[in-house]
Amino acid sequence: MISCGCFGGTTFHGLALAPSICRSTSMFSPLRTLTLTLAATNPHHRLLRRVLFPTVVRAFSSTALPTVPITKQEGKAAAKPQWKTAIDFKWIRDNKDVVAANIKNRNSNANLDLVLELYEKFLNLQKEVEWLRAERNVVANKMKGKLEPSVRQALVEEGKNLKEGLVSLEEDLVQLTDQLQQEAQCLPNITHPDVPIGGEDSSIIRKMVRSPREFNFNIKDHLELGKDLELFDFDAAAEVSGSKFYYLKNEAVLLEMGLINWAIAEVSKRGYIPLITPEIVRSSVVEKCGFQPRGQNTQVYSIENNDQCLIGTAEIPVGGIHMDSILPESALPLKYVAYSHCFRTEAGAAGTATRGLYRVHQFSKVEMFIFCRPEESNLYHEELIAIEEDLFSSLGLHFKTLDMATGDLGAPAYRKFDVEAWMPGLGRYGEISSASNCTDYQSRRLGIRYRPSSDTPATSKKGKGSNLAPTQFVHTLNATACAVPRMIICLLENFQQEDGAVVIPEPLRPYMGGLNVISPKAKTSQ
């Protein structure tokens, strides 16, 4: 997923934010209040090689907090706890130095001390609740025999007092559990041991493909080319929608549609199931994928008076497609290639480095997504980056692949590879793609498990049976096949000609009606 920045319908919804307990430094930054018009045979690969996965993953894979049963009391509604994620708090407490170092290396704002403090309070309060329940059972058992009326009445009063105290403590326990969950959900994923430590400058080049093209004429950037070739209209879009919106015109429309169809076709050949996703999702699904939709540091457009958001990437709806499911092992890996529009506030983004199509509020993107067994996720991470490299290499682009440093990883990523392509008009490399292995960080929030195939086949229902092997969380991975605006920048700037025309790379021509060249428009005589 990369950070770049058509609706119909008649209902207008204001977009606003509510504060969040998490202070995320992930891909999503601050949001303004806005108003928008809204509408709203896969071959399975069998891998012979198995990769050992670090045992530290268990810290984020085991169910730690039990469900808190609530004692009902007439006239009072029990508090409803928020969604839970399975976190092994005991492991975190016992390995707090390792967790603290990971938080520091990733430049995360997660508050480990508060998590540990809340966990201790939770344990103590849980003991009190269990003691009161046991006392209440003792009283109930005493009342089963034949008793003097005065003794029975005393036991009734004692039971009533215990019940009232228990209800109060259970409500406190629910609130404390929610607070603990909210803080713990800010903890970032663990980090692959080979990931370089430091900020973005510490990232390591894995691969360099081709050399920059040498031009023997004065080159233009994509904005100049787009103006000369009549491909974009930023001015009209600014009047209609605001800054960082745009109209595509003429051959640019064919280029966008060609890129989308080319990317889907190429990735589908490799066994990925094509999807077109919803572009409005529940806020909880955004949170479960590891993003903060309602906080100061967010790029998510949230719909006012509605628990829904516009998606910033198809990773979110694809990640949720198997939410709260138990998959049979035989179904894995599940591979998807998804097309969607993406919406990002891009707050704080300004300057020449983000001008034009480089960072916009709405864009089209083709995303790859994999659900797999834990021991295979490292291999599929390599598969995803290899697909990206094949796609961009086939277009004749000069690019480099980076193993991103800890400070540049979003909260969900265990490891992330970025692809940066040379953009000669901008005079620099620009990110056009990334591939992330999120291990079970998302699946344990989304409730996506699989059942090993050594037992009877499982369904999506969470049934019980002594003959069923324990379920495990799947691992999830995502990667960008084509972020259209960034790709348009690369193609226009790298394949411009001295006469102002732009040559279309051969792989795209069949998807653009055979168009070979975008030529300057003939000027009409006055």
Q: Which residues are annotated as a binding site?
A: 313, 344-346, 360-363, 367, 431-434, 478
Contacts of 475 (CB under 8 A, 6+ apart): 371, 372, 373, 374, 376, 377, 437, 438, 439, 440, 443
Query: What is the distance between the terminal CA atoms of the chain, rounded to a whole angstrom?
Result: 48
To 5 degrees, how large is the angle CA 410–CA 289–CA 300?
75
Token pair belonging to 92: 């975190």
Strand, helix or coil for residue 490: helix
Q: Residues within the annotated binding site for ATP?
A: 344-346, 360-363, 431-434
Cα dihedral 407, 408, 411, 417 in deg (nearest 10): -130
Distance (Å, rounded) from C-alpha 139 to C-alpha 135? 6
Distance (Å, rounded) from C-alpha 334 to C-alpha 327? 10
- 3-class DSSP string for 273-335: EEEECCCEEEHHHHHHCCCCCCCCCCCCCEECCCCEEECCCCHHHHHCCCCCEEEEHHHCCEE
Q: Omega into 333 within 30° of 0, i.e. cis?
A: yes
Q: Tokens 């067994």 label which residue?
A: 373
Judge residue 205's burial from the number of C-beta atoms within 10 Å of its C-beta, 0-12 exposed, 13-18 middle, 19 or more buried: exposed
| 323, 448 Cβ separation under 8 angstroms | yes
Distance (Å, rounded) from C-alpha 188 to C-alpha 108? 7
Distance (Å, rounded) from C-alpha 60 to C-alpha 86? 6
Strand, helix or coil for residue 450: strand
Q: Tokens 């990769």 label which residue?
A: 51
Distance (Å, rounded) from C-alpha 34 to C-alpha 16? 7
Q: Residues within the annotated binding site for L-serine?
A: 313, 344, 367, 478
Beta bridge partners of 479: 368, 435
Q: Tokens 């996965």 label which residue?
A: 53
Q: Which amino acid is at 401?
A: T
